[in-house]
Amino acid sequence: MKRLLVLVGALLTVLVGTSAAAYDFSEADALFKQRENNLSAIGKARGLYEQALSGSSKEDLMHAVERLGKLAYYEGDLLLSQGESSKRKQIFSKCLEHVESINPSKIGKTGTYFYWKTACLALWGRAAGMISAAGRLGELKDSMKQGLEFDAEYAGGGMHRVVATIHLRASWLSGLQNYEKALLQINEAIAKGPEYFNVYVVKAEILKALDRDNEALQVLETAKRELERLERAKQLPANLEPETRVFLKQIKEALRN
């Protein structure tokens, strides 16, 4: 019996000693918090998160991919202008590579995978142009469908936000632009994640496309008042402060136009 206990203890020691240690994200996460208008911090954080994509646990992979996706979106879609298509294409192409680190064939289906796969693929397609995007149309449609079916709650209804934006702006992809579908999806997104203030920018665009200009104006004015109140009170949505300030700027620009 004593010998058996010794053997069990030795086995446990081996198992504990060989288990993968959690990746230390402290430096990367600190840089991530400094991302606002800071390309240097974004680049350094991206490099550290990329290091975590090799040999990490599922939880670490998910964290790294989520942060890499957020950095790609912030830099590629919010900091760079639409005219900087070459840079944007490169950023979202890299994002798609990162997302494959959590491909369902490797770690099982996750909301993180479908959300960032769909978002980065759509943004890549917009930057790459109609011909390149058309070659991946089937892939995009499949990702949209699976993402909505698997986890529509991730990131405050994130799949609804992404799908609504695709239906609104995908004039460069045949058969995807549909304003009525976009409105249904953005209303779902607002119900699930009203703290993601880009939903109001998107909803206003949809309403304008449907010739409902007065409603679009009301949406923007209401969002502007609420955002300015939150900013004065220093209560912008946690972990979304840089993005939310961009959304406020977009809302003000839309109201001027």
Residue 172: which pLDDT band, with cuts at 50, 70 and 90? low
- Judge contact between 210 and 183, C-beta under 8 A: yes
Burial state string for 6-30 with b = 16 or more CB within 10 A and e = fewer than 16: eeeeeeeeeeeeeeeeebebeebee
pLDDT of residue 6: 38
Lowest pLDDT segment from 9-23, 104-118, 129-143, 185-199: 9-23
Structure confidence by residue, pLDDT tens digits, 84-128: 999 999 999 999 999 999 999 999 999 999 999 999 999 999 999
Q: Where are the domains of the chain?
A: 28-151
- CA–CA separation, 49 vs 238, rounded Å? 21
Four-CA torsion 183, 184, 186, 187, nearest 10 degrees: 110
**Are 197 and 228 spatial neighbours (Cβ–Cβ below 8 Å)?**
no
Q: pTM, whole model, 2 decimals?
A: 0.89
Question: Does residue 70 carry a pLDDT above 60?
Answer: yes
- pLDDT number for residue 133: 87
Tell me the per-residue pLDDT of 9-67, one tens digit each, with 9 for 90 and over: 443 333 333 345 689 999 999 999 999 999 999 999 999 999 999 877 999 999 999 99
The average pLDDT across 166-194 equals 91
Assess whether pLDDT exceeds 80 at residue 173. no
Predicted local confidence at residue 13, as pLDDT: 37
Q: Give dist(CA 10, CA 25) in Å, integer.
A: 31
Task: Supply the pLDDT for residue 171.
Answer: 74
Burial letters for 44-77: b for 16+ Cβ neighbours within 10 Å, e otherwise?
bbbebbbebbeebeeebbbbbbbbbbbbbbbbbb
